[in-house]
Structure 1
Amino acid sequence: MSSSSAGAAASGGRRYAFTVGGEAGERLDLLVARYGELSRTQAATLIANGHVLVNGARQRASYRSESSDAVTVEVPPPPGRDIVAEQIPLDIVYEDEHLLVVDKPAGMVVHPAPGNWSGTLVNALLGRGEPLAEGGGEDRAGLVHRLDKDTSGLLVVAKTDASHRVLSTALAARQVTRRYVAVCWGHLNGDAITVDQPIARDPRDRTRMAIVQTGKVARTDFVRLARFDSVDLLRAHLHSGRTHQIRVHLSSVGHPVIGDDTYGGGGGRKLAALPPRRHFLHAAWLRFRHPVSGAVVDLRSPLPTDLRQSLAVLSAMPELAEHQDPLDVFGFYHTDEPANGASLSE
């Protein structure tokens, strides 16, 4: 099957098209879902509402595709919804007139979406009354990158469109260093491994991501900092920023992040002393060049209380629960990079 996409339109909708090849005989709703990264229900709704044409004509969701069928899909924009400014406290670890960096708590969704229209980081940013870059749209005001809801740690927000462009370009060029601390179940095969596997929506469950050979390139370097009885303490270095990347990559090698209910690491929560709906993944270290001055911005986020307590239990080192930053104990910040930050390439 060959496919093409027109991308997002200015109105928020998008169009994509594909030609059926070896998938002849598959149901139309399954094909539309797979190549649009949609749920099967969303695909069926598009078909029923006349937004899907096969060779220029409407078909049912149950239509069995034939070789060389030309399928076009029009995804309408979502209904408009105002994003409300809310007075929600934030931990701002760096701020000037060009950007700010937030230390996001676990449990906070980054931007509004169906099911989470309030209480998000964007709602909180708007509530501060400060200027934010508009390039990403109101629902993603200022965001340069994202963190999963239950992942804590450092996240960059641009205040101006110029800063947003420079930071986004640097991120794409792997000139922003993002290192995460993770604890995984079991033990890696070596003290340092690289997982270089493409990631896309799981074709069997659109709410998950998976290793998919037709997906987007994704690479993560993992360094084992410590080996405990049942888990490894890891430093994860992202070379790309795919959704759930670290979690998917660790699960793919049989060592899911502890507490990760989605990718197989949710069992043994009591053993890990983790609260409900919390996995052990934290964006602890962020380094980038300032988009205006060019100076190196080097920021660190010590483990939050819940992860310090978990690490103290898993390591059988109770003193870590009160340590200011247990990551120092395990050499998390010791790398081969120049100490003066002269090179930020990954």
Structure 2
Amino acid sequence: MNDPDSEADGLMKEFRAGADAAGVRLDQWLAAELGPDFSRNRVQALIRQGAVAVNSGAVTETKRKLAEGDLVTVAMPEPEPAEPLGENIPLDILYEDDQLIVINKPAGLVVHPGAGNWTGTLVNALIHHCGDSLSGIGGVKRPGIVHRLDKDTSGVMVVAKTDRAHKALSEAFADHGREGDLERAYVALVWNIPPRMTGTIDAPLGRAADRVRRAVVPETRDDARHAITHYTVLERYGQGQKQAAEAALMECRLETGRTHQIRVHLAHIGHPVIGDPDYGTAFRTKSNRLPEPLRAKVQALPRQALHARLLAFRHPDTHMTMRFEAPLPADMAEIVEDFRRL
């Protein structure tokens, strides 16, 4: 049990194991003692990092069994800041007024602070850039994220600066444009050439086994979410060439907006996005059939070749339809140009 009189100053905590702890795993017992703010996974990480000691001896084995009277010491981690701080991170701004800001997000930039990414995010950059022009989202001066792009997906994003804009844009994205002027188009460079120039992928998505990725799942599953993607083949590469891997440039338009939707749907029909580290690994060796220097460029691509090319929406104040486009970033444009030479 917790011995409150033995808690050390600062970030050190001590716990004394009672009779009920005898024979219990260290990670299981400590997670219960630390309370709901510490998941078992987080406790296991602390143990493996050497932050936990039993009877003054460091322990890194999570399955260590306790004995009655054991003194468990934990070097508590510094708490993360409750609110993200502004950081001077360059932004490619396409438009800005007192209600919203539209940016061309580069690949590699995380949108929102979270586990493992508390700094260096788009939100940190916007807090610094917008400053006092943020009138507040929910009473706090922070940018209102109404939609997201994956860390390694580039392209157009809109962010609200006021509660009014946040509410209007959130409703538009939740409705997926059925009642308004919302339009989203992505460009994806994929393996293989689809047999049809246009098509619709209607397949529900849910959590995969690792709970981070998504997968096409039966619609009867509890976590199944309706997901529809419409696609058009823009260009085809290597068709009929035995010595070259086939690929295609596709435009995808979302009817729904699920996590990783385009990436999962394209992989599901056999056309994973080139460079996708989560859903395209089974096709990684196809790059071996490409000529140089294209082969080296594809193999060196550090992210999925997916770009949010177009975003159109109704302005929450003027009610005018605004339309923004961002050209392919240099890494994708260079590879596409080399594919065209096939």
State the partner residue of 1:242: 258
Alpha-carbon deviations, 1:264-283, whole Å to 9, x = none? 25612862724442211000
In structure 2, runs of 5+ residues without a counterpart are 1-38, 46-78, 239-245, 289-293
State the partner residue of 1:285: 310
State the partner residue of 2:329: 304
Residue 113 of structure 1: SS of its match in structure 2? coil
Q: 1:147 to 1:133 in 2, by over 3 A?
A: farther
In structure 1, C-alpha distance between the alignment counterparts of 2:212 and 2:40, rounded to whole Å? 11
In structure 2, C-alpha distance between the alignment counterparts of 1:136 and 1:247, rounded to whole Å? 32
In structure 2, C-alpha distance between the alignment counterparts of 1:103 and 1:160, rounded to whole Å? 20
State the partner residue of 1:151: 153
Deviation at 1:188, TM superposition (A): 1.1
Alpha-carbon deviations, 1:268-305, whole Å to 9, x = none? 28627244422110000111111111111011101111
State the partner residue of 2:183: 177
In structure 2, C-alpha distance between the alignment counterparts of 1:310 and 1:177, rounded to whole Å? 27
State the partner residue of 2:115: 114
Residue 206 of structure 1: SS of its match in structure 2? coil
State the partner residue of 2:230: 221
In structure 2, C-alpha distance between the alignment counterparts of 1:282 and 1:207, rounded to whole Å? 21
Alpha-carbon deviations, 1:55-76, whole Å to 9, x = none? xxxxxxxxxxxxxxxxxxxxxx
TM-score by length of 2: 0.66
Q: What code does the residue aligned with 2:260 have?
A: H
Count of paired positions: 246
The within-5 A match list for 1:1-346 is: 41=41, 81-128=82-129, 129-132=131-134, 134-135=136-137, 141-175=143-177, 176-202=182-208, 204-213=209-218, 214=221, 215-229=224-238, 230-265=246-281, 267=284, 268=287, 271=295, 273-274=297-298, 275-316=300-341
Alpha-carbon deviations, 1:281-338, whole Å to 9, x = none? 0000111111111111011101111111010111117xxxxxxxxxxxxxxxxxxxxx
State the partner residue of 2:16: none
Deviation at 1:126, TM superposition (A): 0.6
Alpha-carbon deviations, 1:154-200, whole Å to 9, x = none? 00100111111111111122221010000110011211111111112
Contact conserved, 1:111 with 1:139, CA < 8 A, in 2? no
In structure 1, runs of 5+ residues without a counterpart are 1-38, 46-77, 318-346
The percentage of aligned residue pairs carrying the same residue is 46
Q: 1:194 to 1:138 in 2, by over 3 A?
A: farther
Residue 110 of structure 1: SS of its match in structure 2? coil
State the partner residue of 1:22: none
In structure 1, C-alpha distance between the alignment counterparts of 2:197 and 2:252, rounded to whole Å? 12
Q: What code does the residue aligned with 1:208 have?
A: R
Q: What code does the residue aligned with 1:205 have?
A: D
Give 1 or 2 for the bigger CA radius of gyration. 2
Alpha-carbon deviations, 1:89-128, whole Å to 9, x = none? 1011011111110100000000100100110000000111
Q: 1:281 to 1:146 in 2, by over 3 A?
A: same
In structure 1, C-alpha distance between the alignment counterparts of 2:80 and 2:217, rounded to whole Å? 31
